Amino acid sequence: MLLPASSGALFLLLAGLGGLSLGEVGDFSPCLQSFYKGVPPIGVGSEGYQPICQRYRNQYHFASLYQRQRRVPLYSAYVFTNGDGKRPKSNWMYEPQLAFAGASPEMKRFPRKKPVDQNVVESQAVLQDYTNSSYTRGHLNPSQHHQNQEDRKATFTLTNVVPQRKGSNSGPWAQLETEMKARLGAYCLGPAYLITGAMPYVTERWMNQRVAVPEYMWSAYCCPVHNASLPASLASFFPTRAAVGRNDRQSGGEIVPVDPEAKGSSLGYDVRRMSLDALEDILWQRLAIPIHLFTNQCLGGRVSP
Ligand SMILES: *[C@@H]1O[C@H](CO)[C@@H](O)[C@H](O)[C@H]1NC(C)=O
Ligand SMILES: *[C@@H]1O[C@H](CO)[C@@H](O)[C@H](O)[C@H]1NC(C)=O
């Protein structure tokens, strides 16, 4: 696929990673269709970040920007497809090319009986990191945002996952995912582009002394073409909307305030809905770089009758 001529920052990002290399770990060019107008977020990604085109059963399904030093993705980007169905049986996978540059470009299932290769363990999170922890495997790209089974199964790779508190993962964050699915399914015509990520702590925290734990989860969508007969109450939800969710009950309330009335396991894991601009400001402050998740802020879209 050709790179858009206007994406100077994208070019710099790729150049910073050592130029265009072939292969699925290395650059986003085989999976630019996961991004609005084929342009990955501008501002994020330089040294220490590796683009992964998530390939499963001979197809690209989505894209992740992986941080080797933290052994977690910074974000996953994907195209939403509406559909119902069961969550697939989770056969968890890893990315062979993070361990061996010449390995298969396909994500691969963890071996069941054999120990995991030490090069794989060094290069990425493995199931054992989660087994003995107080964290769940939090999908950035969730399986329920896809219609077809292959797209769903492809989300079960640990390079799409961060350590997420159960209270968030099965509470307010799950509600956000369901709400986005319902809204996009009802009013977005044509593709919706999502980017969901993890925000590290200012002072890094680790799971199993190996895998960085995020303090917040964040997500944003770009729906370029929406139904014009939108209820007035939803006008501010198109073409873009974003959210940040707490992954730590103890965090301060500056970014996402806590609702003291929240019940039980949801308490302290609030999700704050916000505009795309507000999310980009927060990311800017945290990551110290100006960020644009969607080219031209997803404007220039149109509405359909
Ligand atoms: C989990 O922790 C227990 C107790 O500390 C230990 O015996 C066990 O081997 C650990 N399991 C894994 C998979 O690390
Ligand atoms: C737009 O929404 C209206 C009202 O909900 C619905 O009747 C119509 O079929 C929708 N249009 C499209 C193209 O989906």
What is this structure's pTM? 0.89
The DSSP 8-state label assigned to residue 228 in this structure reads S
Which of 183, 226, 227, 238 for a ligand 2 pocket mutation test, highest count of atoms within 8 Å of Cβ?
Answer: 227
Q: What whole-number distance in Å separates Cα of residue 233 and Cα of residue 254?
A: 26
Q: What whole-number distance in Å separates Cα of residue 284 and Cα of residue 289?
A: 5
* Cα-to-centroid distance, 229 and ligand 2 (Å): 6
Contact 257, 218 (CB under 8 A): no
Identity of the amino acid at 199? M
305 pLDDT higher than 80: no
Residue 20, Cα to own-chain centre: how many angstroms? 23
Which pLDDT value is given to residue 290?
77
Atom from ligand 2 closest to the CA of residue 227: 1
- Using one digit for the tens of pLDDT, what is the confidence trace for 22-40? 346 778 999 999 999 999 9
Q: What whole-number distance in Å separates Cα of residue 38 and Cα of residue 169?
A: 30
Ligand nearest to the CA of residue 189, numbered in listed order: 2
Ligand nearest to the CA of residue 207, numbered in listed order: 1
Higher per-residue confidence, 302 vs 10? 302
- Asked if residue 305 has its Cβ within 6 Å of ligand 2, the reply is no
- Asked if residue 304 has its Cβ within 6 Å of ligand 2, the reply is yes
107 pLDDT higher than 90: yes
Q: What whole-number distance in Å separates Cα of residue 67 and Cα of residue 124?
A: 9
Residue of minimum CA distance from atom 9 in ligand 1? 132
* Cα-to-centroid distance, 133 and ligand 1 (Å): 10
Contact 189, 304 (CB under 8 A): yes
Report, in this order, helix, strand and coil percent for the chain, each rounded to 5: 30, 25, 45
Among candidate residues 23, 13, 144, 40, the one with its CA nearest the CA of residue 95: 23
Q: What whole-number distance in Å separates Cα of residue 297 and Cα of residue 289?
A: 17
Query: 7-304: what fold?
Result: Extracellular Endonuclease; Chain A (3.40.570)
Which pLDDT value is given to residue 25?
78
The domain spans of the chain are: 7-304
- Asked if residue 229 has its Cβ within 6 Å of ligand 2, the reply is yes
Q: What whole-number distance in Å separates Cα of residue 305 and Cα of residue 297?
A: 22
CA distances from 48 to 13, 203, 221, 268, 296 (A): 11, 18, 26, 32, 26
- Using one digit for the tens of pLDDT, what is the confidence trace for 284-296? 998 877 789 999 9
- Using one digit for the tens of pLDDT, what is the confidence trace for 83-101? 877 788 889 999 999 999 8
CA distances from 220 to 151, 283, 284 (A): 19, 12, 15
Residue of minimum CA distance from atom 12 in ligand 2? 227
Contact 90, 127 (CB under 8 A): no
| β 93-94/211-212 pair status | unpaired
Atom from ligand 1 closest to the CA of residue 131: 13
